[in-house]
Structure 1
Amino acid sequence: MDLSCFKAYDLRGRVPDQLNPELAERIGRAYVDLTAAKRVVVGYDIRLSSPEIATALSAGLKAAGADVYDIGLCGTEQVYFATSYYNMDGGIMVTASHNPKDHNGMKLVGPESRPISSDNGLNTLRDRVHGPFEDAPTFGRSECLTIEVDYINHLLGLVDEGALSPLKIVVNAGNGGAGPVIDALARRLPFEFVRLHHQPDGHFPNGVPNPLLEENRAVTAEAVLREGADMGIAWDGDYDRCFFFDEKGRFIEGYYIVGLLADQFLRKMGGGRIIHDPRLTWNTRDLVQAAGGKAIECKTGHAFIKQRMRDEDALYGGEMSAHHYFRDFAYCDSGMIPWLLVAERLCQSGQTLSSLIDARIEAYPASGEINRTVDDPARLIEAIEEIYGADAVSVGHVDGLSVEFERWRFNLRMSNTEPVVRLNVESRGDIALMKEKTMELLTAMEQAGRN
C-alpha cells in the first residue's frame, strides 16, 4: 500500500494512486485505534474527490465504533471549531488546501483540536493503517451537525460589532470554500462585498486557489483599484489562510500582518503574550513591546506554534506564511478572524490600510522569502554561520540559523520536505542595506554550495 501521502503535519497526495476511498476507510479505523475517540467531527473541502473520501473515512470511523458528526462542505477551521466548541474527541478535515486539483488529503486533530502530527501520533497511525482490523461490537452512528450559527457568532464575538462602519471589501474565494462563509457574515456586517471567483467549484476554473503565487494576485489587486475598495482579501482553498491587499491594490507581505494583528489584539486585551516565528521578527517585537505585550519566538510550523501558545497562554500567534492562530479559537489557525480584526482596526482608526502598513515597511524593510535548491542544505547553513556568526550580535537556532547585527539580520532555514533553503533578510529602516545584504548572502550561498 502506497502511504506516501503521510507528511510531517498532515496527509496530501494524488487521487487515486496516493489517496483513495480504500485507504481513507483504513485511516478512519486506525484513527479510532490510535485515539480511542468516540465522537469525531468530519468535514470536507470543495474538491471533486472529497465527498467520496469523506464517506469512506466516516465508514472506517463507524466500523471502529466511533460516532461521526458530519459538518459537510466546510473549511479546515470549521472542523477545528466544531471539535473544540462541542467537546468532541477529535476531528478530521478532508482537504489538500492549495495543492493541484487532482490531489486530496486530511488534517487530523484530537480533543480540544490539538493537532496530530508526525511527532505525536501520525506516524503511528500510518503504520497501523496496514491492519488487521476487527469491527467494533457496536458500529458508530452518523449525524449531520449544523454549526453555522455558532461558528458565525463566535467569529463576530472576537470583534466589536458596534465599532464597525461601512467598508467596501473585495473578496476572492478562488472558487474554494470561503464564499458561503462570507455570505453568512455579510448578513451581519455593514460592509459592501465585491465577490470574485465566489462559487465553490472543485474544477478550479480560475486555477488552484493559492494567493502566494504572484500570478494569482492580479485579479484581486485590479478589482480593488477598479472598485475603489478599502481593501482586498484572498483565500486558499480551505481558507485557513487569508492574504491582504491595501486600497492601492498592493499585496501585503504576511510579516507585516502579523505585527498589525498582534498590535490589535494587545490593544483590545490590554497586554499578553504573542508567539511569532523566527524568520522575520523585528517589526513584530517592536509593536508587541510598544503595546505592552511580550513577544516569544517559536519554531515555524503549526504544531509547534499551537503547543507554545498553550504553554504560554498566548493571545495570538502568527507566521509570515499567513497562518494566524488565536487563543479564543482553540489556539487554532483561522482565515476569517484576521480580516475581521483588520477591518475593525480600519473602522476604529479611520486610517487606510496602506497608511498602517507603510510605516512598518519603512521601519523594517524585508526581502520576502527567497528559496534556493541546494545539494546539502545542512552543510550550506553551517558554512553561512561560519562566515557571519563570529561578528554577529547574536546567533540563534530556534529554527534554522538566525543571525543578528546592529542594523540588519537574517534567517536561513531548510525545508522539511525538499532540498531547499529559505532566506529572509530585514534591516532597521535601511532598504538599501537590506538589498545589499540580501545579494551578499545569495552570493555567499552560491559559493558555499559549490565548495
Structure 2
Amino acid sequence: MTHRFDPTALREYDVRGIVGRTLGPADAHALGRGFATRVRRAGGTRIAVGYDGRVSSPELEAALVEGLTASGVDVVRIGLGPTPMLYYAEAELEVDAGVQVTGSHNPADYNGFKMVLRHRPFFGTDIQDLARLAEAGDWEEGAGEVTSADVFEDYVQRLVAGDTRGAYRIGWDPGNGAAGPAITRLVQLLPGEHHVIHAEVDGTFPNHHPDPTVEANLSDLKRLVAEKQLDFGLAFDGDGDRVGAIDGEGRVIWGDQLLSILAEPVLAAMPGATIIADVKASGMLFDRVAELGGVPVMWKTGHSLIKTKMRETDAPLAGEMSGHIFFAHDWYGFDDAQYAAVRLIDAVHRSGRSMTELRTAMPALCTTPEMRFQVDEARKFVVVDQVLARLRGDGANVNDTDGARVTTADGWWLLRASNTQDVLVARAEAKDRAALDRLVAAIDDQLARSGLRRGEQVAH
C-alpha cells in the first residue's frame, strides 16, 4: 500500500491543506502510518493526539489514529483543545511524540497537522520524509492500542501555577477557536474581572476569522473593551498558539511590542539572557532587550525554527510578529497563547504601570503592515537571492538571516520568501512617514529590478 500527498500540503512547519481538495482522511491515515514509523524507528511506542474545533477535525483525527495504530504505536487521545494543550500532553504524559489536527489560523475549509517528536518540533526535511515513506509504502506494521487521557484541567491549572499577580479588568476573545473552553476555565482561576466573548467552539467561525494579527479581526474585542471600559483585551488564533492584544484605548499591541513587555521580568530573573525575535520584529525590541541587559538575537521566522534556536542558545523567551510567544522560563519552550496571556498580566503588574501607559511609552515609529505578494513558488527564493546579490554589490547594510533586512538612515526594510505560501513578504519601519515612503520605494525598486511589482496583496 502506497500513498501520494498533494505536494502543496507539505509545508515547512506542518502539513496543511484545503479539506476535500488537497487534504482528506486518506492523507491523515498515511500521515499516521509515516509518523508512527518514524517514531518506532526512533525507539518510541506511544503518541498523544489532539484536535482543534474545525468541522473536519474529528474525521481527520479518526483517520490519523487508525494510521498510527496500523503502524504499531499506541495512541493516547486527549480530545478537543488548543495546540499547546497537545504540546503540554507530549511533555507531561508518558509518550514519545504528539500530533495535533489543526488548521491553525487559516480559513474554515483548511486543516492540517502539527507534530512533535521527543519534545522537539518535527518539520522541514522530516515532513518531506513522510511523503517519501508514503510513496514507497515503507511503513512499519502493527496493531497499537488506543486509550484516552483527560489533561484539560491539569493543563489549565499548570497555566496559573506560577506567580499570577495583578487583578485587572480584561476582555478575552478566542474567536470561536479551540482555545475557548480553556480560556473560559482559565479566567475562573485568575484574579480580577474577566469578560469572554466568542468562547463557543465553532469551526465555521461565525463572528470573525481567528487571526489576531489582522486588525479587522479585533473589532469585537475593541468594542468590548470600550463599552465596559476594560484595562485591556486579549485575542487568540484558531488553535491557541498565537496571542494578540489591545490596550484600554483599543490600540493594537503587536507581537514585538508584547515581547518588549514580557522581556523585562524575564531578564530581571535571568540577567544577561538571550531573547530571540524573528526578522520581522521592530528595531525597538532589539534595542529594548539590550537596554535591559539581555542579548537580543534576530532569527528566522517560523515557530519550529525559533524553538530550535532557543535550544541552541538557552533562551528563556522568544517571539514572532505573528504572535507566537515561546517561554522556556518556568515553561516548556513551546508557543502557548494562553500561557503568554498569563505572563503578560503578570508583567504588566510588575511594571507598576497600566497596559495603556506601557503602550503609550513605546517609541512612535511609522511601520507598514506585513505586505504579502504572490510570486511563483519556483521564483520566490530566486528573487530574494537576486536582491541580496544587488544589495551586497551596492555595499548596503544587509542582514541575510532570513531574506534581506536592510538598515538605512531612514530605518529598515525586509523582503523574505514565505516558507509556507507562494508569496514574498515585505515590511518596513521608519522614524516618520517620509522616511517610510523612501523605504517602501526601495522595496519597489528591488522588485522591479527582478521583473516584479508589489501588485495586489494576498491574504494570509
Q: TM-score, normalised by structure 2?
A: 0.89
1:290 matched to which residue of 2? 291
Q: Does the alignment pair 1:128 with 2:133?
A: yes
* 3-state SS of 1:426 partner: strand
For 1:88-114, what per-residue CA distance to the aligned partner results, in whole angstroms no more than 9, with x for missing partners?
Answer: 2100000111222222111111012x1
Contact 1:254 1:319 in 2 (8 A): yes
Residue identity matched to 2:145: R
Distance 2:287 2:399 in 1: 19
Note closer, same or farther for the CA distance 1:304–1:417 as it changes in structure 2 (3 Å cut).
closer
2:78 matched to which residue of 1? 71
Residue identity matched to 2:356: S
- CA shift for structure 1 position 240: 0.6
* 3-state SS of 1:357 partner: helix
- CA shift for structure 1 position 134: 7.1
Contact 1:39 1:67 in 2 (8 A): yes
1:229 matched to which residue of 2? 230
- CA shift for structure 1 position 419: 4.4
Q: Among residues 11, 21, 24, which one is paired with 1:7 in the alignment?
A: 11
Q: Among residues 39, 51, 55, which one is paired with 1:48 in the alignment?
A: 55
Distance 2:58 2:391 in 1: 53
Write out aligned runs for 1:199-214 (5 A). 199-214=200-215
Distance 1:189 1:318 in 2: 24
Contact 2:262 2:343 in 1 (8 A): yes
- CA shift for structure 1 position 245: 0.8
Write out aligned runs for 1:111-190 (5 A). 111-112=118-119, 114-119=120-125, 121-130=126-135, 132=137, 136=141, 139-158=143-162, 160-161=163-164, 163-165=165-167, 167-190=168-191
Residue identity matched to 1:291: L
Q: Does the alignment pair 1:332 with 2:334?
A: yes
Residue identity matched to 1:221: K
Residue identity matched to 1:356: L
Q: Among residues 311, 336, 348, which one is paired with 2:350 in the alignment?
A: 348
Matched residues, number: 441
2:455 matched to which residue of 1? none
Note closer, same or farther for the CA distance 1:244–1:213 as it changes in structure 2 (3 Å cut).
same
- CA shift for structure 1 position 238: 0.5
1:248 matched to which residue of 2? 249
Q: Does the alignment pair 1:85 with 2:92?
A: yes
Contact 2:33 2:139 in 1 (8 A): no
Distance 1:131 1:386 in 2: 43
Note closer, same or farther for the CA distance 1:135–1:448 as it changes in structure 2 (3 Å cut).
closer
Residue identity matched to 2:394: A
2:398 matched to which residue of 1? 395
Residue identity matched to 1:334: D
* Structure 1 spans left out of the alignment, 5+ residues: none
- CA shift for structure 1 position 433: 4.8
Write out aligned runs for 1:13-28 (5 A). 13-28=17-32
Note closer, same or farther for the CA distance 1:280–1:22 as it changes in structure 2 (3 Å cut).
closer
Distance 1:361 1:115 in 2: 35
Distance 1:295 1:123 in 2: 32
Residue identity matched to 2:418: S
Contact 2:261 2:348 in 1 (8 A): no
Residue identity matched to 2:337: G
- CA shift for structure 1 position 204: 1.9
Distance 1:204 1:9 in 2: 24
Distance 2:445 2:136 in 1: 50
Contact 2:174 2:183 in 1 (8 A): no
- CA shift for structure 1 position 268: 3.6
Distance 2:287 2:140 in 1: 56
Note closer, same or farther for the CA distance 1:388–1:370 as it changes in structure 2 (3 Å cut).
farther
For 1:96-152, what per-residue CA distance to the aligned partner results, in whole angstroms no more than 9, with x for missing partners?
Answer: 11222222111111012x111122x11111221246477745x22111112123322
* 3-state SS of 1:212 partner: coil
Distance 2:412 2:311 in 1: 29
Residue identity matched to 1:127: R
Contact 2:29 2:67 in 1 (8 A): yes
* 3-state SS of 1:8 partner: coil
Identical aligned residues as a percent: 32
2:113 matched to which residue of 1? 106
- CA shift for structure 1 position 18: 2.5
Bigger mean CA offset, 180-189 vs 35-44: 180-189
Distance 1:134 1:293 in 2: 47
* Structure 2 spans left out of the alignment, 5+ residues: 453-460
* 3-state SS of 2:367 partner: coil
